[in-house]
Amino acid sequence: MTPAQNDNAGVPTPRAPDGGGEGRGLPASPDRRRIGGADVATLAAVAAAFAYAYAPNIAGLYQTWKTDPDYSHGFLVLPIAAVILWKRWPAGDGARPRPGMLGWLLVAAGLAGRVYAHERGATWTETATILPVIAGLGLARLGWPTFRRTWPAFAFLVFWLPLPPALNAALSQPLQGLATKLACGLLRLSGLWVMPEGNVILVGNERLEVAAACNGLSMLMSLAATVAATASLMPMASWKRVVLLPSIIPIALGSNVLRIAATAWCYHKFGADVGSKYAHDLAGYLMMPMAMILVGLELAVMSWLIIEAADAPKAAGLLAMDRGRDPWNDARGGP
């Protein structure tokens, strides 16, 4: 035996992982799942049947996304949902999808609800049955263990839909009045004395009308879609997601209040002609960036108030909390 051979004596030679590596103590290859021709053909057939069955409803959604700026984010919902599905797909050969029958019950319930809504002319409800049908198809194909990990991708499809007309009508007027009162309070605090008159703000000799579009609902769905995508794709503790998502409503309302206040100041400084022609639209364009800044501030405050164990040596706050294992990350197969 040569010295070189002697040096390597007793050292096991590593073997490349193969299909039987799991049984030899080697880690399983972390593929997300081998997709065969049968899977592609099945998916194409189901997608074609679904598109044919819901063609009028899909066409209606397309027109809404195309003509209403408040819902133009609908074109991005499916790609973002696909990314969420990919990131949350369980890795490893041991977590393969196991088709089940429970999903078909959800599909049947969704289709029955569609028939019921169609017979009564409830167009929004009929279109909304797209969501349980897609979720049921996913559950039927993937099975509960995999669906439990990937459900945020299916839930994100809710942002395809506009707000229900009945909900929009019920909330529009109260939120419009609330936005007017809050804007007047903010303006007085900032040194500009104004008087509310219904949904009109008297700024000196100028009258600033708070339109129905300035109630916070107009940007609610687009902001909710943006925040939900951020919460799904960015690593953060589960409790932060639970706090962040319900705060979308006050953030949307607060952004509109800031928009009204900024417009009122422009009315005061430059007059109604300049304020109505330039300031109102410019403030509207800045609403979404302002809302995202408020979201970032909220996350920063939460991180300051409650410090996770991993970050404790780096910062100080009022309360430290041990993160432990994050179920959201566990669902993705993360550490």
Q: Give a yes or no: residue 175 inside a domain.
A: yes
Which of 99, 134, 160 is at the close of a domain? 160
**135 and 216 belong to one structural domain:** no
Tokens of 21: 């590596």
Average pLDDT, the chain: 77
Which of 160, 190, 207 is at the close of a domain? 160
pTM score, whole prediction: 0.70
What pLDDT sits at residue 15?
A: 47
Query: Phi and psi for 206 in degrees, rounded to 5?
Result: -100, 150
**201 and 215 belong to one structural domain:** yes
Of 160, 252, 130, 263, nearest to 207 by C-alpha is: 263
Q: Sorting pLDDT into bands at 50, 70 and 90, what band is 79?
A: very high
Q: Give a yes or no: residue 41 inside a domain.
A: no
**81 and 156 Cβ atoms separated by less than 8 Å:** yes
**178 and 309 belong to one structural domain:** yes
**118 and 191 belong to one structural domain:** no
Q: What distance in Å separates the CA atoms of residue 50 and residue 44, rounded to the nearest whole number?
A: 10
Which of 131, 160, 189 is at the close of a domain? 160
**54 and 118 belong to one structural domain:** yes
Cα–Cα distances in angstroms (integers) from residue 55 to residues 44, 72, 108, 115, 118, in the given order: 16, 19, 18, 15, 14
Residue 271, sorted as left (phi over 0), alpha (psi -120 to 50) or beta, turns out to be left
Count other C-beta atoms under 10 Å from residue 192's C-beta.
18
**127 and 57 Cβ atoms separated by less than 8 Å:** yes
Largest CA distance in the chain: 103
**198 and 287 belong to one structural domain:** yes
- In this structure, of 25-34, 143-152, 240-249, 307-316, the range with the lowest mean pLDDT score is 25-34
Q: What distance in Å separates the CA atoms of residue 327 and residue 237, rounded to the nearest whole number?
A: 9
What pLDDT sits at residue 178?
A: 87
Q: Give a yes or no: residue 276 inside a domain.
A: yes
Q: What burial class does residue 114 get, using C-beta atoms within 10 Å of its C-beta: 0-12 exposed, 13-18 middle, 19+ buried? A: buried
**174 and 78 belong to one structural domain:** no
Q: What distance in Å separates the CA atoms of residue 280 and residue 194, rounded to the nearest whole number?
A: 18
**304 and 197 belong to one structural domain:** yes
**146 and 272 belong to one structural domain:** no
Instruction: Summarize the confidence of residues 164-177 as an average pLDDT.
Output: 81
**200 and 135 belong to one structural domain:** no
What is the residue range of 266's domain? Answer: 165-327
Q: Give a yes or no: residue 321 inside a domain.
A: yes
**222 and 291 Cβ atoms separated by less than 8 Å:** no
Q: Does residue 316 surpass a pLDDT of 60?
A: no
Q: What burial class does residue 204 get, using C-beta atoms within 10 Å of its C-beta: 0-12 exposed, 13-18 middle, 19+ buried? A: middle
